[in-house]
Amino acid sequence: MTNVHAVVGAQYGDEGKGKMVDFFAAKARMVIRYQGGGNAGHTIVNEFGKFALHLVPSGIFHPETLCILGTGVVIHPMNLVTELKSLQAAGISTQNLLISERAHLVMPYHLWQDIYEEQSRFAKVGTTKQGIGPAYQDKSGRFGIQIGEMRDLDRFRERVHSTYEQKIQRMPGLADVAGSFAEMWEELETAREVLLPYITNTLPLVQEAVQGNQPVLLEGQLGIMRDIDWGVYPFVTSSSPISGGVAAGAGIPPTVLSRVTGIAKAYTTAVGAGPFPTQVDGEAGAWLRDKGQEYGATTGRPRTCGWLDLPTLRYGAWLNGYTDLALMKLDVLSGLPEIPVCVGYELKGTRHDMPLPAYQLEHVTPVYESLPGWQEDLTECRTFADLPTTAQAYVERIEQAIGVPVSHISVGPARQQTLVH
CA angle, corner 157, sides to 153 and 160, nearest 5? 135
- Lowest-confidence segment of 22-26, 83-87, 376-380, 402-406 by average pLDDT: 22-26
Active site residue 42: yes
Which candidate, 20, 19, 22, 6, places its Cα nearest to that of 61?
Answer: 22
For position 294, what pLDDT does the model report? 87
- Lowest-confidence segment of 212-221, 283-292, 338-347 by average pLDDT: 283-292
For position 40, what pLDDT does the model report? 63
* Pairing, β 268-270 against β 304-306: antiparallel
Where do the domains of the chain lie, and which CATH numbers do they carry? 4-101+199-261 (3.40.440.10), 104-196 (1.10.300.10), 264-420 (3.90.170.10)
Catalytic residue among 5, 22, 42, 104: 42
- Other beta carbons within 10 Å of 412: 19
For position 415, what pLDDT does the model report? 85
pLDDT band at 124 (very low <50, low <70, confident <90, very high): low
pLDDT band at 176 (very low <50, low <70, confident <90, very high): low
pLDDT band at 252 (very low <50, low <70, confident <90, very high): very high
Active site residue 281: no
Q: Is the pLDDT of residue 99 over 90?
A: yes
Mean pLDDT: which of 82-91, 126-135, 319-328 is highest?
319-328
CA distance 370 to 374: 13
DSSP 158-226: HHHHHHHHHHHHHSTTGGGT---HHHHHHHHHHHHHHHGGGEE--HHHHHHHHHTT--EEEEEEEEGGG
Which candidate, 274, 332, 324, 326, places its Cα nearest to that of 307?
Answer: 332
pLDDT band at 21 (very low <50, low <70, confident <90, very high): confident
Burial class (CB in 10 A: 0-12, 13-18, 19+), 148: middle
Q: Is the pLDDT of residue 129 over 80?
A: no
Q: Which residues of 260-275 are buried (b: 16+ CB within 10 A; e: fewer)?
A: bbbbbbbbbbbbbbbb
Catalytic residue among 14, 227, 309, 331: 14
For position 200, what pLDDT does the model report? 97
Share of the chain above pLDDT 90, in %: 72
Higher local confidence (pLDDT), 90 or 301: 90
Q: Is the pLDDT of residue 76 over 80?
A: yes
pLDDT in tens, 366-420: 999 999 999 999 999 999 999 999 999 999 999 999 999 999 999 998 888 999 9
- pTM over 0.85, yes/no: yes
